[in-house]
Amino acid sequence: MNAVTAPNTPPSSPHVMHTYGRLPIAVSHGQGCRVWDVNGKSYLDALGGIAVNTLGHAHPKLVPALCDQVGKMIHCSNYYHVPLQEQLAAKLVELSGMTNVFFCSTGLEANEAALKLARKFGQDKGITRPEIVVYEKAFHGRSIATLSATGNPKVQAGFGPLVEGFIRVPINDIAAIRQATEGNPNVVAVFFEAIQGEGGINPMDADYLRQVRALCDERDWLLMIDEVQCGMCRTGKWFPHEWAGIVPDVMPLAKGLGSGVPIGAVVAGPKAAEIFKPGNHGTTFGGNPLAMRAGVETIRIMEEDGLLANAVKVGEHLRAALQRELANVKGIKEIRGKGLMLGIDLSVPCGEIWSRSAEAGLLLSVTADSVIRLVPPLVMTTAEADEVVAILVPLIKQLLAEKGVS
């Protein structure tokens, strides 16, 4: 069997740049919520490629559609109209109640486009040094601008000078945002994740979302909600801001939109839809036919297979089982999140759980040092959720005992 050792082992391929702390597992293939490594060991996948594989692996409806598309056309230039772009954009507009979409290939690109939209929104109004409100513990990507917007010093270390023009505030504190922007005529936008992912599964309260929406309206700022990780059906709504009954002006998406095929999108409402003019923004791969087909089919399958309801049902089942099994365990601070985006916050760092769970046949991640993150494929069943709990709970108890917490 494949022994799992400590992370940060030297890369097995000396030619791939060493940018990730990887586990020594070489993956081979997957089916549904299962993944196999090259030695034939199977794993239950509660990570879904970090909230990407929304339909699980090798979905029987997605695979033939993608094969069909590869046989027709993978890529062409944005010098021409790509009908699938209009098809996917129309669907995203219908689902979001917003108006227009720009396509790209990753989350950071979607966020980069959002930041450019905000700056140009300000510049068009005569604000020559626009500033954007961002959040503590936020994660928006690793380009220079998006890592500057990110609220994690570890991500920024070594990459200064950072991009200027960001004002940082804590989450869920409307007084803090009012105070930080008091009398500042340069503010153009507020930018946050509806549920912070990398920062430790920290949801924005529904009340807070409504208050920020009202503040943006009052001050003529753009409300920009990064739903790259928490969007696309994961919380039981297409987009988690819907739980608060609001609509943003700008919504970057990526990850789960293409079920694994690289795709990003910036959805804009009327206040932001006309800001970019021809020549203002673009990307070679954005909107290519393969990615567009993946997006169209992902949404179609999510609708056909009732995955909104499944995310609620299995998410509630998983949360309830974790709460029951961990009820009187000292060292469990909180179980947070919504639908199939859950975090178990421990009172001690728990990075070891990442490798130990893999050794036990369960893929997940640990984020913000002490939060076990579960973002499985949205096709997960309640039986599979029970299996997650059966593997994970003893590992948590063992780790807490080792650390003298329990």
Based on the residue annotation, tell me whether 255 is a catalytic residue of this protein. yes
Cα–Cα nearest to 49, from 203, 303, 257:
257
Q: Which residues have CB under 8 Å from 289's CB, separation 6+?
A: 69, 72, 73, 74, 75, 76, 82, 84
Among 193, 345, 359, 384, binds ligand PLP (CB under 6 A): 193
Query: Are 38 and 28 a contacting pair, CB within 8 Å?
Result: yes
Instruction: Provide the H-helix boundaries in 245-366.
Output: 289-304, 307-325, 352-359
Verify whether residue 41 is a known catalytic residue: no
In the region spanning residues 22 to 51, those forming contacts with ligand PLP, defined by CB under 6 A, are: 50
**Plot region of 92 (φ>0 → left; ψ -120 to 50 → alpha; else → beta):** alpha
CB of 193 to ligand PLP, least distance (A): 5
What part of residues 215-244 is at the interface with ligand PLP (CB under 6 A)? 226, 228-229
* Catalytic (active site) residue 121: no
Q: How far is the CB of 262 from ligand PLP (least distance, A)?
A: 8
Note the Cα 216 to chain centre separation in Å: 23
Q: Which of 5, 29, 26, 31 is nearest to 16 (CA)?
A: 26
Q: Are 298 and 84 in contact (CB under 8 A)?
A: no
Stretch that binds ligand PLP, among 7-15, 85-93, 193-201, 358-366 (CB under 6 A): 193-201
Of 45, 226, 249, 345, the active-site residue reads: 226
CA distance 338 to 312: 8
Query: Which residue, 105 or 181, is less far from ligand PLP as judged by CB?
Result: 105
Could you give the CA distance from residue 261 to residue 76 in angstroms, rounded to a whole number?
16
Q: Does 265 bind ligand PLP (CB under 6 A)?
A: no
Q: Which of residues 104-143 bind ligand PLP (CB under 6 A)?
A: 106-108, 111, 139-141
For residues 129 and 159, which CB has a smaller minimum distance to ligand PLP in the complex?
A: 159
Shortest spacing between CB 199 and ligand PLP, in angstroms: 9
- Three-state secondary-structure class, residue 4: coil
Q: Which residues have a Cβ under 8 Å from the Cβ of 190 and sit 6 or more positions away?
A: 132, 133, 177, 212, 215, 216, 221, 222, 223, 224
- Rounded to a whole number of angstroms, the minimum distance from the CB of residue 228 to ligand PLP is 4
Which of 43, 135 has the CB closer to ligand PLP?
A: 135
Span 318-357, contacts to ligand PLP by CB under 6 A = none
Judged by CB under 6 A, the residue of 197, 269, 331, 377 near ligand PLP is 197
Q: Among all residues, which ones are annotated catalytic?
A: 139, 226, 255
Q: Interface residues with ligand PLP (CB under 6 A)?
A: 50, 106-108, 111, 139-141, 193, 197-198, 226, 228-229, 254
